[in-house]
Structure 1
Amino acid sequence: MVNKMRSQELTLYEQDFNLWLEDTVILLREQKLLQVDWENLIAEIESMGRSEKNALKSNLRILLMHLLKYRYQPEKRTNSWRYTISKHRQHLEDALEISPSLTSLLQESLGKCYQQSRKLAADETGLPLKMFPSDCPFLLDDILDLDYLPDEARSD
C-alpha cells in the first residue's frame, strides 16, 4: 500500500523523464509558463552545463595523457594512440564549435588537467612521474591542432 501511495505521489519528472521533457517543450512552445515545472527544468539546464564542462575537461585530460605517451614513449607509438588523439581533439573541436565560450574554461583548466594527465600517463606507462615535465610542454594551439603530434622525447 505504501509503494502504491508513493507511486501516486511521483511527479511526471520522476515517473517518465522523456515524457516530462516532451511535455515541457510543448508547454514552452505554447507559452503556458505557469504550467512549466520550473524547479526541475532549471536543475536540468544547470546539469547540462556541468556535463558539458566535465566532458570538455575529460577529453582534454585524455588527449594530454596520449600526447605525453606519444612524446615520451616513441618506441610504443601505435595507430590506436593516434586514433585516440584525433578522436578527443574532434570532441573538443565539436564542443568549442557548439559553445565557443568554453574556450576560456579550456584555458583555465589546462594546468590542472595537465597535472592529472601527467599522473595518468605515469600510471599507465610505468614511467616515473618526474619523467614528465611539471609544466605542460604543449601550447593550447598545438593541443587542439588536428595535425600536431609531439616530437620524440626531449628535455624541456
Structure 2
Amino acid sequence: MTVIPNLKTLYEIDDSLWLEETIELLKAKRFDALDLDNLIEELEDLGNEKKFRVASFLQQIIRHALLLQFWTGEREYNQSHWESELVNFQDQLNTYLTASLRKYLEQEFDNIYHKAIRYVRKKTKNKVTFPDTCPYSLEELLDPNWLPPYE
C-alpha cells in the first residue's frame, strides 16, 4: 500500500487509485487517515446508482408491459421481443432488489410510471391511449410468471 499523504488531492487526480488506497486503509483499520468527505460522497453516489438501476429496470418492465397490452397494431410483429425484454428486465431487477430498494420503488412508483408513459407515448406517436395511472401492481411487475393481459 502506498499511502498518499493527501488523499483529497489523490481523489481529484485519480479516483480509481484513491479507491484502492481507501480500501487498503479500511482493511488496515487506519480510519484516521481516511478522506472522509470523499468517502461519504462516494457511498452516497453508490446508493443513488443502485436506486437509479432498479428504477430503470422497473421502468423498462412497465414500458414493455404497456406496449404488449395496448399497442395492438404492433403486437403481431413485436410480441415475442416485448415479452422476452420484459422477462429479461424482471430477472435483472430481481437480481438487484433488496428490501430497502423495494421500498424506494414503492415510494417512486408513480414517478417511474410517468417516465414510462412518456416513453411509450413518444414511441407510439401518441396514436395509442395509455392509462394515466399504472394498471399493474408492483407485485405483478416483479412476478417472473406474470405478463399483462391482452388478447
Normalising by the smaller structure, the TM-score range is: 0.7 to 0.9
Distance verdict in 2 for CA 1:55–1:90, change over 3 Å: same
RMSD across aligned positions (CA): 1.7
Post-superposition CA distance 1:60-101 (Å, at most 9, x none): 1111011000111233433321222112112210121xx321
Q: Deviations over 1:97-117 (max 9, x none)?
A: xx3211111111111111221
3-state SS in 2 of match to 1:105:
helix
Partner of 1:16: 14
Aligned to 1:123: 122
Match of 1:140 in 2: 138
Partner of residue 90, structure 1: 91
Q: Which residue of 1 aligns with 2:78?
A: 77
SS of 2:147's partner is coil
**Percentage of matched positions with identical amino acids:** 30
Aligned to 2:28: 30
User: What TM-score do you get using the length of structure 1 for normalisation?
Assistant: 0.82
CA distance in 2, matches of 1:26, 1:101: 28
Rounded to whole Å, the distance in 1 between the matches of 2:50 and 2:22 is 21
Equivalent residue pairs, number: 141
Distance 1:149 1:77 in 2: 14
In 1, the alpha carbon distance for the partners of 2:93 and 2:37 equals 31
1:95-110 counterparts in 2 under 5 A? 95-96=96-97, 99-110=98-109
Please give the alpha-carbon distance, in whole angstroms, between the structure 2 residues aligned to 1:19 and 1:116: 37
| Structure 1 CA distance for aligned equivalents of residues 29 and 149 of structure 2 | 57
- Specify the code of the residue in structure 2 equivalent to 1:33: F
Please give the TM-score of this superposition, normalised by the length of structure 2. Answer: 0.85
> Could you tell me which amino acid in structure 1 is paired with residue 15 of structure 2?
F
| DSSP-derived class of the 2:99 partner | coil
Q: 5+ unaligned residues in a row in structure 2: which ranges?
A: 1-7
> Secondary structure at 2:57's aligned position in 1?
helix
2:117 counterpart of 1:111: no
